[in-house]
Amino acid sequence: MKKILLLAVTFSLTSCAQVQQTLNQLPQLSSQIPGVGGVDIASGLKEALNKGITVQVSKLTAVDGFYKNEAVKILMPEELQKVDATLRKVGLSSLADEGIKMLNRAAEDAVKEATPIFVSAVKNMSFTDAKNILLGNDSAATTYLQGSTTTALYGKFNPVIKSSFEKVGADVVWTKIINKYNTIPLVKKVNPDLTDYTTTQALSGVFKMIAVEEKEIRNNISARTTPLLKSVFAMQDGK
């Protein structure tokens, strides 16, 4: 369970103060997971979330959180790979680079909306879910969160990305890119839905980073930096 929380955190994404305020709304759970030595689930959740924010969340929400992270950097969609190559051939590399940067800036903005959704997923998780996740494989928590939050996250991310495109002028840049490409003789005209594409890629990046943090805590004892984390994951080690 501990780990799932930690995962949730990794996606938290707003300021620590905002996340803590959200966490304070969680009910104080008195129940405990059998076999974990009486670990308090509510306290464990807050601790895991706070650690996750420090470790991963801020990385994605910061400027260049996506753009300079090769593991999650959003590139041009497949149907625009030829657009990218063609623009560079005709001396428009800077325009192509700017278009890619805009996609990543929008993703960085959108991820800030994830915190309350992950907190909600954790609140609704049953004790059976928590125990199964704790004793599951290296990505059990990530898989649980993905199944529980993807629809809600898409609904939050999509309008933010659309708004971000407008705010940073990405809509203008991409209109210029597409129009410029479509005027090149003999090329197949394109008109991709970049908002949907960037939303999907942002979600993929978020869960990829959550999986990284989950694997670290499960397999690296030194990553369990508090007595609570050590107690909870000791159960996993002995499964």
Per-residue pLDDT tens listing for the chain (239 residues): 444 434 444 434 333 444 444 434 433 333 444 444 555 544 554 565 556 666 776 789 899 999 999 999 999 887 777 777 887 888 878 877 888 898 999 999 998 888 788 878 777 777 777 777 777 788 888 888 889 889 999 999 999 998 988 876 777 777 777 777 778 776 677 666 788 889 999 999 998 888 888 888 778 888 777 787 777 777 677 65
Residue 72's pLDDT is 95
What is d(CA 175, CA 188) in angstroms, rounded to the nearest whole number? 16
Phi–psi pair at 148, nearest 5 degrees: -90, -20
Residue 71's pLDDT is 94
DSSP tag of 80: G
3 state DSSP class of 32: strand
Residue 48's pLDDT is 59
Q: What is the pTM of this model?
A: 0.72
Burial of 41 (0-12, 13-18, 19+ CB in 10 A): buried
Q: What 3 state SS string does 110-168 have?
A: HHHHCHHHHHHHHHCCCHHHHHHHHCCCCCHHHHHHHHHHHHHHHHHHHHHHHHHHHHC
Burial of 168 (0-12, 13-18, 19+ CB in 10 A): middle
